[in-house]
Amino acid sequence: MTAPALVGAALVVAVAGVVQLAAGFGFGLAAVPLLAVVLDPHDAVIVALTLATFTNSYQAWTGRREADAPVAGRMLAGAAVGLPVGLVVFLRADDRWLGILIGCAVLVAVVVIAKGLDLRHAGPGLDLAGGLLAGGLTMSAGVNGPPLVFVLQARQFDAIRFRSTITRIFAALDVVSIVVFTAAGEMDRDIVVAVVVALPGLAAGAAGGIALRRRLDAVRFRRLVLTLLTVAGLSALASALAG
C-alpha cells in the first residue's frame, strides 16, 4: 500500500468522522465509496467498519441512557440473520450489481423519509426487517445505515434518541463484523496499517463532528440526514455504473 493511498485514506476518514459524530450515522456512507478510490474495494469495506467501531462505540456509550433498548434489540435480532447472508454476498457477489441495488434502495428511502412517513405505531416486524437489511449490508458493502435510518425516522425519533439508538446497533454490528472478517482471513497487514495511519484523521474528524452537532436543531438535522442519504445513493450508483 503506497504512502499517497494511506494519506488519502486518512483524509477520507477525517471527513467521515465529521459526518458520523454530527449525524450519528454516515461513516460508511461517506468513507466506503471514497476509500474504494485509494484502496481495494473489499479492503475499503473492512477498513471503514474497523474505524467506525471507535466512533460508534463512543456514541453508544455516551448516549446509552437515551437509546430505545427494545427497538435496538429487535433490530439486532434481525441483523443476526442478515449478517451471514451479507458475508456470502461479500465473498461472491458482483460488485457492480450490488452497488446499483444499494444506490436504488437508498434513494427510495430518501423519497419515503422526505414524505414524512409516520410509522410510530408499526409492529416489531418493522424493526426486525430494518435490522435484517442492515445486517446484510454490513458484511456485504459496509454501508448499513439506510435501512436503520429509514425505520428510526419513520418512528419519528428525535435527534438525540435517534443517534443514541442507531449507534448502539452500529457498535454491535461493527464488533461482530470485525470478528467474522478476522476469522475468515480477510483482515490482512495492509488493512491494519491503513487503520493505524487513519486514526489521527478519525480523531480530528470526530472533534469537528461534535462541534457541528451542537449547531443542529431538528430541522437542520433532518436536512442533514436527507442530504447524506441522497449523496450516498447517487455515489453508489455512479461508482457501480462507472465500474
Cβ atoms of 53 and 182 closer than 8 Å = no
Backbone angles phi, psi at 187, to 5 degrees: -90, 90
The DSSP letter of residue 156 is T
35: nearest Cα among 168, 230, 201, 189: 201
Radius of gyration of the chain (CA): 16
The DSSP letter of residue 112 is H
Q: What is the mean pLDDT of residues 204-230?
A: 81
Mean residue pLDDT across the chain:
84
pLDDT in tens, 143-162: 777 789 889 988 989 888 99
pLDDT in tens, 105-134: 778 767 777 777 778 888 999 999 999 998
Confidence of residue 1 (pLDDT cuts 50, 70, 90): low
230: nearest Cα among 75, 30, 12, 44: 30
Beta strand residue intervals within 85-233, DSSP E: none
Residue 135: all three cell numbers together: 445486517
In the chain, what are the domain boundaries? 3-242
Cβ atoms of 135 and 82 closer than 8 Å = yes
Element (H, E) at 80: helix 69-92
- Is the pLDDT score of 26 beyond 70? yes
Q: What is the rounded distance in angstroms from the CA atom of residue 157 to the CA atom of residue 100? A: 29
Cβ atoms of 163 and 59 closer than 8 Å = yes
The pTM of the whole model exceeds 0.95? no
Three-state DSSP at 138 gives helix
Residue 235: all three cell numbers together: 455515489
Confidence of residue 73 (pLDDT cuts 50, 70, 90): very high
Amino acid at 154: A
